Amino acid sequence: MEHISDINIIRSKMNEYGNEGKPFLFAVNFEMTEGFFIDDPMNQSEVLFRIREQGNTFEERNTGSNPRFSYNPSSYSEYRKKFDIVHTGLLTGYSYLTNLTVKTPVSVRLSLEEIFHRSKAAYKLCLPDRFVCFSPERFVRISDRSISTNPMKGTIDATLPNAEQIILNDFKETAEHNTIVDLLRNDLSIVADRVRVSRFRYIDRIKTTNSDILQVSSEITGTLREDNYRNLGDIIFGMLPAGSISGAPKDATLQLIRNAEKEPRGYYTGIFGYYDGKELDTAVLIRFIEKDGSQYYFRSGGGITAYSDCESEYKEILSKIYLPVI
């Protein structure tokens, strides 16, 4: 596998393979400064991946051992500094919604590969000695001329009484979700016609090593135009970075993210995907553990609006630090 710093090469290869109906696996980091492209990915074992029912590994397995997962979060005051930078930008009008993320040291007695194999998730990717991702969030699915995206915004502890009603009726969460749906509708309209919201604010339940959580998503669909529907690179790169993990409007919001986070995200909140020769399915690289030397770090984040409460947002980023082991 070759890591590619010229993202235009990946884009060009995706166009080429899409037009020829040849399978590939790809990933692009959040800053769009690095990525990789693998042809015939089912017949390689350097990068482990599983996208729903397809991948180059066997189904998940449980070894029966306790993963002994723990974490040491940054203090509330440290998070508050980042939050205040974002919140000031929101109140000033630079952004309507900003995704703020943090990096948390974690301890787990499993290798990245073991975490990959034991995790239950719709989308999984492991670059040995670099990171493992067990994402619940689809970015874009393309099948022939049909395109769909599934932005995920809104998280709550599933054990709370009436958790589903609470999250669906929360004013801040509703406003945040509506903003992302509108942004993704606009993104799809760049490459597709007849763009519509086919499912709005549906609930998924995710099992974790802590307690189960509920996630709120919507589905937006459209029809790709005849002249570009096989140019998979142009379509995907025209929508990056993903709206659900950046915000709106994108350019000003990305600057706000840089000011608050003060370090690159790398592959975290980038995207990856697999094309089987007929259908491309891609995911957002969230629920993400990276390795730096001997230390593991869990990356997590959440959407901030002008109505956000700092303490609630801090609790949300902690609730997303988990292993979906089986």
Structure confidence at residue 59 (pLDDT): 60
Q: HSE (CB half, 13 Å, CA atoms) of 260?
A: 28
Structure confidence at residue 145 (pLDDT): 95
- Most confident range (mean pLDDT) of 56-60, 172-176, 244-248, 289-293 is 289-293
Domains and CATH numbers, the chain: 3-150+221-319 (3.60.120.10)
Percentage, residues of the chain above pLDDT 70 = 96
- Contact assessment for residue 221 and residue 148, using Cβ atoms and an 8 Å cutoff: yes
Structure confidence at residue 27 (pLDDT): 97
Report helix, strand or coil for 259.
Answer: helix
- At residue 3 the predicted structure's pLDDT band, cuts being 50, 70 and 90, is confident
Cis peptide before 41 (omega within 30 of 0): no
Structure confidence at residue 223 (pLDDT): 97
Specify the pTM.
0.92
Statement: residue 60 has pLDDT above 70: no
- In this structure, of 8-22, 69-83, 99-113, 203-217, the range with the lowest mean pLDDT score is 203-217
- In this structure, of 53-67, 151-165, 264-278, the range with the lowest mean pLDDT score is 53-67
For range 189-206, the mean pLDDT:
92
Q: What pLDDT digit, counting tens, does each position of 135-180 carry? A: 999 999 999 999 999 988 888 888 889 989 999 998 888 888 898 8
Tokens 């009603």 belong to which residue?
165
Q: What pLDDT digit, counting tens, does each position of 73-105 carry? A: 999 999 999 999 999 999 999 999 999 999 999
320: tokens are 């997303």
Structure confidence at residue 58 (pLDDT): 72
Percentage, residues of the chain above pLDDT 90 = 74
Statement: residue 62 has pLDDT above 70: no
**How is residue 145 annotated by DSSP?**
T
188: tokens are 């799809």
Structural element, H or E, at residue 87: helix 76-92
- In this structure, of 214-218, 312-316, 321-325, the range with the lowest mean pLDDT score is 321-325
- At residue 63 the predicted structure's pLDDT band, cuts being 50, 70 and 90, is low
In this structure, the dihedral spanned by the alpha carbons of residues 277, 217, 112 and 268, taken in order and rounded to 10 degrees, is: 90
- At residue 61 the predicted structure's pLDDT band, cuts being 50, 70 and 90, is low
Residue 324 CA to residue 326 CA, distance in Å, equals 7
